[in-house]
Chains A and B, each alone.
Chain A
């Protein structure tokens, strides 16, 4: 029994950071209908920024993760203005293709430029809490992952409140639901897209910062997470913020519980099988709305 609880706890802790990584992606997809392949690379940049905060400014990485939000919001805003705004916002059915390649290109540029500038040598932020645990009865909760989980929860809640309680957030959702109608109501859809992209990038950068408290940093680190992010977002229902959060947690849980039934080597097949099952049973994802037939 204790063992099972430990598996569940571990899974949830792992899932917490997946969840925060994924809500940024979900926000971008929900508002802009952009499948952003470069999302993981922005996360990697967030890890580096937190690293440099920690190394040169002695800023604790948990705080560093928060401090990376403003610069990455600006970066996201600029990337949208300079590049993505040119291929989004028009007829959505026809521009998926272009976005895919633009974000793929961005991803290549970011990874390779980082490798060249910051060298491929992996780095890490040595934190005391990465190798310590809270003991709750017989169950051990890794401290770094627990902090990261708590902050992920807070940030996700903040985003959710922002979207549902503020005027700007409501305008953002209106622009997501029906850009045309939102435009008629005087909402600047383009600005909303820039806001969504900036926020989405800032969130994933913060997730990177939290990840960096226990995970080493290298230019190609995105490859270890990007697929899981997509799975979480689709699992939760494309574009749904609570959905993506739950999707992230579910992935962590499935990864952990898969070990009880499948050989370790097949751990991630558990995730993909769960992913396919959810889609077959609920094609719109856990929290997605079903689209009208006609």
Chain B
């Protein structure tokens, strides 16, 4: 991410360039093309808020574009209301529509969400035809053209579109650099991890959807007045609108405000140049060449031109930086003072959970005391991860209760559990792959703090705590397993948890790695944070845990200090008998 002021400067520079262009250009047709570039960039930026930042690809975003267009025009036609005010009404209508569409539709994930959104504009299109609004022309107001957005000077439309674009750029930039922006991108990168880090994914998506409906509606209203002069259902709710939006965004690159800008600045003029050079002479050829250009550009830059160039530059820098990174060493053991266990922090009572008739957990109960390290062991399929998922809210139990600090947290969203002090890591590390290590950790930091600068410091401190300070600017893709697990731990610590749930933090680590991790976990506990840890490597847990809970086939088999538990016949029979002996010989 470029530094804050540099980003704002760049936005300013783009707007200044637009302004200069508007006055350099003299031909009406060129003014029109410029207006189109600005409007499609705006529509792309609108789409980018929900689909780029938050990663919820929407195939129905033209619904807001169309609402903006129709509401504004119908207000002019039926009530004689100026579009300047009408646009405000249109934005309100679009935001309301976003809420009404979002409420049911955000239950759907991934491509299902995208394809479901497609239905709404198509319904609107049919209904508009049915209502008799096949072609609504804007009545010409010769007396007061400016008040009715009917400028005779085409430059006025360029400036209007530029103003809309500028406002949308500012909005996008504000989102990108705010807590919301980090959270949206975290949702995109990994929704579960984001939830576990205190991000309420539903609320985040809804906010993004409402924010993105706004510029789309304004773009629709201006588009009709500046470009079409009439509104038809197909022209604003049709598939051409969304395909143009997708092209602009994906050619340029999604998830950054520069993407739609680059996409629109490239593809709109290309299309118009094709129309005006070859298209009028050999109709159809412009479509062939434009389509082929899309294919070729996508093959060259599947992630979009902006990211292609950025990655190319970044890879060079990374190669230079990768040289001579010191290995992470285990910190000196601070085991000296094992703090005594405190009062009960987390209470699990009679928790049961079944999948498709298979009982994953049955009536599991245990307690976690403050500042202890509790190990949960059991063979594969014993229900350990399911237990964690119930504890931090990914799954709702059929029966039983989870209490944190005496308050029931059963049935709360993971983000709410996190806000109440429950941190979580995953068996397979869940990173936000396009975030740097620092940004990954920052997502956790936003739970308790809104200011980005402050969160950055918090995250750096958390990284330093696990010995990862020097990796802050790396991308997760280039990290070792140990570094990834430490990063996840730091991210979890950044949420300032009371208790952390660590899901097999030692899996896949070398012997040295295990030592580092164990030392770090001790350090976490010594800082006053309670640790619940899942493992199936008994050895490590014997070194680390104060107490053990043994699960087998979804039941709690035993509970107590490691020494005692390992001596219980039931445990030896069910679990240790074969497996521990077998595992003891193999490197873990």
Contact = CB atoms under 8 A, between A and B. Distances in A.
Q: Do chains A and B touch in the complex (CB under 8 A)?
A: yes
A4 interface: no
User: How many of chain A's residues touch chain B, expressed as a range?
Assistant: 35 or more
Interface in A244-294: 263, 265-266, 268-269, 272-273, 275-276, 279-280, 283-285, 291, 293-294
Contact of A113 (B283, B288, B294): B288
Interface stretch (B102-110, B200-208, B334-342, B465-473): B102-110
A185 interface: no
B130 A104 contact: no
B282 A116 contact: yes
A265 B298 contact: no
B104 A111 contact: no
Interface residues of B, number: 50
A283 B108 contact: yes
A257 B123 CA distance: 17
B292 A105 contact: yes
A265 B129 contact: yes
Given A283-B108, A294-B394, A101 B250 contact: yes
Contact of B298 (A87, A272, A284): A87
Nearest to B427: A294
A65 interface: no
A254 B290 CA distance: 37
B295 interface: yes
Interface stretch (A5-13, A67-75, A92-100, A125-133): A92-100
Interface string A32-44: 0001010000000
A84 to B, nearest CB: 10
A116 B290 CA distance: 15
B291 A108 contact: yes
B39 interface: no
B302 A291 contact: no
Contacts of A181: none
B251 interface: yes
Given A272-B123, A276-B104, A294-B426, A101 B246 contact: yes
Contacts of A22: none
B284 A269 contact: no
B126 interface: yes
B395 interface: yes
A109 interface: yes
A164 interface: no
Nearest to B428: A294
A234 B112 contact: yes
A78 interface: no
Interface SS of chain B: helix, strand, loop or mixed? helix
Highest count of chain A CB atoms <10 Å: which of B119, B247, B292: B119
Contacts, number: 136
B116 to A, nearest CB: 5
A196 to B, nearest CB: 17
B112 A283 contact: yes
A166 interface: no
Contact of B288 (A104, A108, A279): A108
Contacts of B112: 234, 238, 279, 283-285
A230 B115 contact: yes
B118 interface: yes
A97 B118 contact: no
Contact of B109 (A97, A273, A291): A291
B294 A101 contact: yes
B314 to A, nearest CB: 16
Interface in B264-311: 282-288, 290-295, 297-299, 302-304
Contacts of B156: none
Contacts of B104: 276, 280
A93 B303 CA distance: 12
B125 to A, nearest CB: 9
A39 to B, nearest CB: 14
Interface string A105-121: 11111111101100000
A292 B173 CA distance: 35
Contact of A293 (B127, B304, B389, B426): B389
Nearest to B295: A105
B299 A83 contact: yes
B254 interface: yes
Contacts of A116: 282-285, 288
A155 interface: no
Nearest to B300: A86
B539 interface: no
Given A96-B57, A101-B251, A116-B284, A106 B109 contact: no
A276 B116 contact: yes
Nearest to A116: B284
A108 B288 CA distance: 6
B122 interface: yes
B177 interface: no
B287 A112 contact: yes
Given A109-B288, A293-B192, 15 more contacts: A83-B295, A86-B299, A95-B302, A98-B303, A101-B247, A104-B291, A105-B290, A105-B298, A108-B288, A112-B286, A116-B283, A265-B126, A279-B108, A283-B109, A284-B112
7 contacts: A105-B298, A116-B283, A269-B123, A276-B104, A279-B112, A293-B389, A294-B394
Interface of B: 57, 104, 107-109, 111-112, 115-116, 118-120, 122-123, 126-127, 129-130, 192, 239, 243, 246-247, 250-251, 254, 282-288, 290-295, 297-299, 302-304, 385, 389, 394-395, 426
Interface of A: 35, 37, 83, 86-87, 94-98, 100-102, 104-113, 115-116, 223, 227, 230-231, 234, 238, 263, 265-266, 268-269, 272-273, 275-276, 279-280, 283-285, 291, 293-294
